[in-house]
Amino acid sequence: MSMRTLEEIKQEIDRLSDRRADVLHQLSEGHDAALTAEHQQLEEQISELWDEQRQVRATIRFGDRDLIIQRARHEERLSRAA
């Protein structure tokens, strides 16, 4: 699985945020169940993208999560053996 770049994630957030603004504008003109459902879906997608962006930033800053956990477990085993 390849990791998306921060720029790709930002572009997707911007695109979905623009669509969300359009949907909210349309909803302000009157209730529509389909638009309400689309708004909820957009909110969830944007939230997932923010989570992905945080994960990518952490990976860039600190390295791969699995390697960090592996090193921590190894250090813990060493400290218990000492």
Q: 62: pLDDT confidence band, cut at 50, 70 and 90?
A: confident
d(Cα 82, Cα 76) in Å, to the nearest integer?
10
Confidence of residue 1 (pLDDT cuts 50, 70, 90): low
What are the residue boundaries of the structural domains of the chain, listed by start?
Answer: 6-81
pTM given for the model: 0.77
Q: Which two tokens stand for residue 49?
A: 């993208």
Q: What is the DSSP secondary-structure string of 14-58?
A: HHHHHHHHHHHHHHHTS--HHHHHHHHHHHHHHHHHHHHHHHHHH
Number of H helices, E strands in the chain: 3, 0
pLDDT above 60: residue 39: yes
Between CA 13 and CA 26 the distance in angstroms is: 20
